Structure 1
Amino acid sequence: MPSGFFALLDDISALVKASAASLDDVPTQVAKTTGKVSGIVIDDTAVTPKYVVGLDPSRELSIIYRIAKKSLVNKILILGPAALILGYFAPWAITPILMVGGAYLCYEGYEKVHSILSQHQHGEAEDKPVEAVTPQELEEQRVASAVRTDIILSAEIMAVAYSQVTDQPIVNQGLVLLAVAVFITVAVYGFVGMIVKADDLGVHLASDKYSPGIQKLGRGIVKFMPYFLTLLGYVGTAAMLWVGAEIIAHGIPFTAHLLHELEHGLANMPAVAWFAKALACAIAGLALGFVIDKLVRLVKPVKK
């Protein structure tokens, strides 16, 4: 009996050691996964600041916090568990779902490009009926729109994160997804918060209580930020097209092979390879968004 008891303790000890060794892998897996989702993170970071443009500056951080909170809740309570469940019961469904999300990103990206080109062609002052909304209603609309876009990007992030840990124990999978959800959300929306409040920092530095050099820096920040936000909007639109098309391309063997060949052919020039792949995906995403837009316009009258 004693020997059986000690044998049981040995088994428990071995199990604990194996679990601890397995858990030591979690930070490595988180770092690896974070690198894999960098393109989607760039998209998320570049797209979000536009949702607070034109709103009360005193509400900017509050709006960013609301979007970040919904994003984190969606990742932890919905998207992470959904990835684990689908990965266990229906792993074949993950790729098609990702491709649908990629198509949505291409459609959104095309709509933004079309809107930008239309403004340049017809001018900003074109007379259009404007719906009157209160600041509170506008804020709710912006938050809802941001959350809709974020949930697509978050779904891509969690799915890609899951794809990197499919060979890990279920506990490790859950811990990696949780860590990625928290780290990515804090990093993205923390950086976004810094971006949207940079002009306030510039105004503060430009005050008389600082030296002329600091004041000049503050005025430079204030003048630079509108251009930076505009540039960031363009980057976000391009990233939407690039990320959406790349997700779809990886779901189709033929196009996935083409991307692999492109990267392999430029392997000795990593920066050029990355840019060539991103450009090819952005062009393909724009073309796909155009097709989806035409299909949507055909379907709308039928639904009416």
Structure 2
Amino acid sequence: MSTIAFIGLGIMGAPMAGHLIDAGHDVVGYNRSRPAVDALVERGGRAAGSVADAVRDAEVVITMVPDSPDVEDVSLGDDGIYATAKPGTLHIDCSTIRPDVARAIAEAGNERGIRVVDAPVSGGEAGAKEGSLSIMVGGSAEDVEAARPYLDIVGGTVVHVGPAGAGQTVKAANQLIVAGNIQLLAEALVFLEAHGVDTEAATEVLGGGLAGSTVLQRKAAGMRAREFAPGFRIDLHHKDLGIVTAAAREAGVTIPLGAHVAQLVGALRAMGHGDLDHSALLLLVEKLSGRGGT
């Protein structure tokens, strides 16, 4: 069993760290807010007061923080991972960040003797709790194989998709598809309600056909009930779609539907709903349709 430093114990990170504890690993957690660390200790982990304290004796470091600057800070800071961790330490970054930043982080880590893989995850809070996340992994074949035993504990589908940064590129594509699916599901629900159709029955039959998807399976019930407690916040999906649109522009790729959904997500965020689940796109469809909303 390994000593694992887990940095970032939020909606996704906390259950992932819990699965690693349950598997018998010695997990040392650090988070900006102390209650999350205390909850990890109650689960059987250990507490660290800083990134440096968490990683100093770790064999594996897993980061799950919100954005590119956060990964750069915990990795490259004066008291960060690469300044503190032992040579040969494996850094698995499960955050969703810009592919170019992932490549730069990997290069910086390798220069200091740290093995780095980017391993962003998909599946939301439910997938994190179930240990069924889909994980797209970038890095060298050797480093990815070293990371696989840990990723297999928290994920149901773990795939090596290419060199450093490739995992983040695939995650960007994932977020593009998810946002489009949620937007169309929101439009379909408002459309069905306007015609007085039983939406529970409708989504059951839609789920059995070509329109079926994990998005419909996981999100439709909450959207019908107007329950938008965050499994994945609008704020974060707004950030991710910024990554997608920037990377598409850099590559000279046109994403007209994706760019439009990015604008809709940005509009909902500007309305003050950044803390809601991304399925709250339904509220914007309602408002645009003159059928309520906020």
TM over 0.5: no
Return the index of the structure with the highest Cα Rg.
1
- Which is strand-richer, 1 or 2? 2
Higher RCO (C-alpha 8 Å, min separation 6): 1
- Which is helix-richer, 1 or 2? 1
| TM norm structure 1 | 0.24
| TM norm structure 2 | 0.25
